[in-house]
Amino acid sequence: MAGIEPPVGSMPRLPERDAVLGALFESAPGRTAILDAEGVVVAVNAAWRRAAAEGGWTHPSGGVGASHMEAARFPHEADAATVGAGLSAILAGDSALFTHEYESSAPGGPERWLTVTLYPVEGCDPVRVVAVHVETTDARRTWRALAEARGQQRLILEQAPDGTLAADTERQLRSSEAYFRTLTGATDISDRKAAELALEASEEWSRALIEQSSDLTVVLGPDGRILYASPNRERILGTSPGGVVGRDSSELLLVHPDDRDEAQRLWQEVYGSPGATAQAALRIEHAGGSWRTLECSARNLLDNPAVRGIVVNARDVTDRVQLEHQLQQAQKMEAIGRLAGGVAHDFNNILTGIQGYTQLSLEELPKEHAVRPNLEEVARSADRAAGLTRQLLAFSRRQMMQPRVVDPNETVRELRRMLTRVIGEDVELSTELATDAGCILVDPGQLEQVILNLAVNARDAMPVGGRLTIRTGRVRLSGRDLADAEELEPGEYVELGVSDTGHGMSTQVMERLFEPFFTTKELGKGTGLGLSTVYGIIKQSGGHIRVESFPGGGTTFQVYFPGVVGRPEVSESRPAGVAAMGGETILLVEDDASVRKLAGRILRGRGYRVVEAGNGAEAWSIFRAAADPIDLVLSDVVMPELGGRELVERITAERPGMPVILMSGYTDDVILRHGAREVGAAFLEKPFTPAALVEQVRLTLDGVVAGGVHPADDAQPEI
């Protein structure tokens, strides 16, 4: 009836209805087929026919008249059996939806994956089933890349089936009356009545197909006004179910400012050329204020008298885009970490020489010497530089660690007085420590550094005062809880939370929060290494960190460490009065000439006999040919030709019990956590002072291994 607007989300009730729906069916991106009650294909859309024409995927003819199994040509029998069982369940009325991903690679061809979705058409007699095949190769590759970046072997892609499912049969498009008679078997009614009933039946059937689509379908007039919008816009964009027909499309599809040029390009490419198609990825504002990324495919059907519009199919790919962003972020952080670790390693060798020779000079100068204050300032500057390299190594996860079973509650209690001084009198400190929080396996000093750095960050966010809260707790995290931390396994975790009531952060700041040297402070007010150090320590300790914040709403950091069963350990104390002198023979192995020369001078000055080697292979030859026995091996870890660990393994195999010290500015986590301990070696961190070197040598020769990495033997993860 003229002048009456149809219900929201429906097409106008006009005789051209079937043609409109047929056009939507034809332009749908998903390879869509309609199956009868026997599973036989009765109609396919253009995407299906294009795939058939390309060859390899489906029956060359498109498969109309063949069974779904024959038409789709599943390469693997297991997939065919699975899909066949799913179709049987739907035809029997035992299931309303079936989805299965399968490999569709041609022999010798590139990898190819598709997802098939089957579901019955509600209220249709006889039974009709919709089959949609959508290519998921790119999404699968993205998931695999992220899994490799995070060390995870198993990720599950949860994504709704793609494609607009609006459909009709070719017979229905040719003749509504013939289609109605096919459905009902009626032969004794008038042609007009048959056509009317056929139109009504096809309309209800097609509406059911469209409304169950996971894509958003919009038909726009030549002036950009909405002729039709599928009702699932409420699910995708959160828009209210009010009437939209006749409204300007910009009211429904509010494009992100940065994407408006791309949206204009899409419209211009399609508008001026009948039959033209164009694609674009656009960010559209959700009613809740967030942005959803939609892959839009537009087709100009303005010259089609039944449609007279531009058909836009929009697929929500927000989750996939976020996944790709996480992958890029992980790769960026890994690249920065490698660079930072390499710089710190080389710089530590340089600092070893600066600190060492400065200390030797200070020992030789009288206290009243005029040059002494200058050397003392050099020593202090070198110490500060060494601190910066330790922060870089912490971020790159190549810092030396001495993990022990620690009670985080006790750590917070011991730090309270220091924290009070750090945050100042205008910030209130509150602690909420759960008695059942449990213990964790971590380097005690680095746990303190994490808490202090987070507290300093909170203080800086509250320039006029506020409240700092530190919490501990015990939580069990499932796989879903760890969706953003695939490297962790579900199980018991100890949670450490640090919250402030400060000015908060924007999304843009949070995206770069843990990058080294990134800071929002004015020039000269910070190094930008505080939170990157926190990030590196937590990751190297097997934990995970999250941050929640928004401008004006404060910030909360949540740190999760795997819980362990064990008792807190008391730090080992070194014997007092360690003798500085000795007379033993030491095999010194170091590829950096300046460090080797310095260490040799220090040890010879304390009475030791030193044999020097520039690499592991040379050291092995010296060891085997030595006339006098070697009493201790002092070796760098990372060297050309033969590394320190491999050298020590050879030497200890020939002389079990040989005292060994491994030294390095950084080591790979495997060597650091397991290598030194497996070969029974102590560990000396670069840069080292003369006093630290001679003390470590003496303790190791006397059988007191210090400085190594010795986690508790009885510490077991609670997984």
- 3-class SS string, 521-556: CCCCCCCCCHHHHHHHHHHHCCCEEEEEECCCCCEE
Measure the CA–CA gap between 415 and 369, rounded to whole angstroms.
40
Whole-angstrom Cα distance, residue 225 to residue 233?
Answer: 16
For the four alpha carbons of 308, 12, 217 and 156, in that order, the dihedral sign comes to negative
Map tokens 């030497």 to a residue. 651
Distance separating alpha carbons of residues 33 and 27, to the nearest angstrom: 13
Classify each residue of 631-655 as buried b or exposed e, where b means 16 or more C-beta atoms within 10 Å of its C-beta.
bbbbbbbebeebbbbbbbeebbeee
Low-confidence ranges of the chain (pLDDT < 70): 1-19, 21, 55-61, 142-213, 240-243, 251-252, 306, 326-345, 387-402, 483-484, 486, 516-517, 520-529, 569-580, 666-680, 704-719
Inter-residue contact 559 to 607 (CB < 8 Å): no
Structure-derived torsion over alpha carbons of residues 479, 482, 486, 490, reported in degrees to the nearest 10: -50
The number of beta carbons lying within 10 Å of the beta carbon of residue 126 is 11
Q: Give, for 690, the enclosing helix (H) or strand (E).
A: helix 690-701
**Which residues on adjacent β-strands are paired with residue 397?**
none
Task: Please give, one letter per residue, the 3-state secondary structure of 589-631.
Answer: ECCCHHHHHHHHHHHHHCCCEEEEECCHHHHHHHHHHCCCCCC
Which is nearest to 436 in space by CA: 409, 466, 468? 409
pLDDT for res 340:
63
The per-residue pLDDT for 474 is: 92
Residues whose CB falls within 8 Å of the CB of residue 344, separated by 6 or more in sequence, listed in order: 389, 390, 392, 393, 396, 398, 665, 666
DSSP state of 40: B
Determine whether 315 is exposed, middle or buried from the number of CB atoms within 10 Å of its CB (0-12, 13-18, 19+): buried
Provide the H-helix boundaries in 365-429: 372-395, 408-423
The torsion angles phi and psi of 386, rounded to 5 degrees, stand at -65, -35
pTM of the model: 0.42
Question: Exposed, middle or buried: residue 175 (CB in 10 Å: 0-12, 13-18, 19+)?
Answer: middle
> Side-chain half-sphere of 185: how many Cα atoms within 13 Å?
2
CA distance 386 to 378: 12
Report the alpha-carbon distance of residue 132 to residue 41 in Å, rounded. 12
Cα torsion through 45, 51, 55, 57, rounded to 10: -100
Helices 444-460 and 530-540: crossing angle in degrees, nearest 10, is: 150
Q: How far apart, in whole angstroms, are the C-alpha atoms of residue 384 and residue 675? A: 29
Residue 175 sits at φ, ψ, to 5 deg, of: -155, 110
Angle between helices 176-184 and 191-211 (to 10 degrees): 80
What's the confidence (pLDDT) of residue 556?
A: 94
Is residue 520 within 8 Å of residue 531, measured between CB atoms?
Answer: no
Q: What does the H/E/C string look like for 65-108?
A: CCEHHHHHCCCCHHHHHHHHHHHHHHHCCCCCCEEEEEECCCCC
Query: Which residue from 589, 594, 635 is spatially nearest to 614, judged by alpha carbons?
Result: 589
Q: Which helix (H) or strand (E) holds 586?
A: strand 585-589
| Distance in angstroms (rounded) separating the CA atoms of residues 89 and 339 | 56
d(CA 477, CA 274): 55
Asked if 662 contacts 677 with a C-beta cutoff of 8 angstroms, the reply is no
Kind and range of the H or E element at 271? helix 260-271
Distances (CA, A) of 619 to 615, 636, 683, 700: 6, 11, 19, 20
Whether residue 416 contacts residue 429, with contact meaning beta carbons closer than 8 Å, is answered with: yes
Please tell me the distance from the alpha carbon of residue 86 to that of residue 100, in angstroms, as a whole number: 9
Helix (H) or strand (E) holding 49: helix 46-54
pLDDT of residue 410: 92
| Cβ partners under 8 Å of residue 588, min gap 6 | 596, 599, 600, 603, 610, 611, 612, 613, 634, 635
* Separate counts of helices (H) and strands (E) for the chain: 23, 23
